[in-house]
């Protein structure tokens, strides 16, 4: 298998679901240095052990990272750069679903929470690091958005949907700004994927969501991880500011 990726990775929300699956996919395709960030840092060693079982040459750094906090984000990035010298790939995956409450009944704190987690700009911290300052500027950033960042939700999830629309807008704007520095920024837009967030949904909601998918099933986290590998690698070298949909055909209309 040809090596698609070389260098170091920092991924947020790495404890489980898409984050863990993406880390495993990135290792499968060549990444050997990984910084795993999550607010649930005590659970990260399990992800680390799964990664180390894939190869003895891997370097895996576990980071306590609360993306809502500038100080926590800066500390995590500083530790990753100190360990690996630079960051070549950043996957902004940390996210929360928000409240399934109609907008006119939503408290401000419930509205704000998905923005604080889903949108808080880890990208800005990334661009302060060596990947921007060196004469060999290069790198790839992939933001995990959602198909609800491209369309409206059939369920009352306005805070989540609005935050993911904002992630896509940020991706497009920063992609234009950073292209000349050799940094590509894209987003992946998953549909209904079997992750802890969606597995905890009400069973009626789950069945309704599956009925909307032409593929007839939810996606697997590794299917999103493979799409992220594509966006991070040179296979997508002429893609900037795009939102790659991985949804089993859910919004192909």
Strand runs labelled E in 58-108: 59-64, 89-92
Q: List CB contacts of 74: < 8 A, sequence separation 6 or more.
A: 125
108 labelled catalytic = no
C-alpha separations of 30 from 47, 84, 135, 159, 252 in Å: 17, 15, 23, 36, 32
Edge-to-edge order in the sheet of strand 8-12: 59-64, 33-38, 8-12, 89-92, 139-144, 183-190, 243-246
Residue 236 tokens read as 């997508």
**Which one of 108, 160, 192, 240 is the catalytic residue?**
160
Question: What φ, ψ does residue 184 adopt, rounded to 5°?
Answer: -100, 135
Catalytic residues: 160
């Amino acid at each position: 298998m040809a090596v698609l990726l070389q260098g170091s990775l920092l991924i947020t929300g790495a404890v489980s679901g898409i984050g863990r699956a993406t880390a495993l996919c990135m290792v499968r395709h060549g990444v050997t240095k990984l910084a795993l960030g999550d607010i649930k840092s005590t659970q990260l060693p399990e992800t680390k052990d799964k990664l180390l079982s894939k190869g003895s040459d891997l370097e895996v750094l576990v980071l306590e990272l609360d993306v809502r906090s500038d100080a926590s984000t800066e500390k995590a990035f500083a530790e990753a750069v100190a360990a690996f010298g630079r960051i070549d790939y950043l996957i902004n995956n940390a996210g929360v679903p928000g409240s399934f409450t109609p907008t006119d009944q939503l408290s401000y704190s419930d509205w704000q929470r998905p923005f604080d987690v889903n949108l808080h700009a880890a990208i800005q911290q990334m661009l302060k690091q060596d990947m921007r300052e060196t004469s060999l500027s290069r790198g790839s950033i992939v933001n995990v958005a959602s198909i609800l960042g491209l369309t409206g939700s059939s369920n009352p999830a306005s805070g989540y949907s609005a935050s993911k629309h904002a992630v896509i807008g940020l991706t497009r704007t920063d992609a234009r700004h950073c292209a000349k520095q050799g940094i590509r920024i894209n987003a992946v837009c998953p549909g209904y994927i079997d992750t802890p967030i969606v597995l905890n949904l009400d069973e009626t909601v789950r069945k309704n969501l599956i009925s909307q998918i032409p593929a007839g099933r939810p996606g697997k986290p590794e299917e999103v991880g493979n799409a992220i590998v594509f966006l991070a690698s040179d296979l997508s070298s002429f893609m900037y500011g795009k939102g790659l949909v991985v949804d089993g055909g859910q919004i192909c209309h």
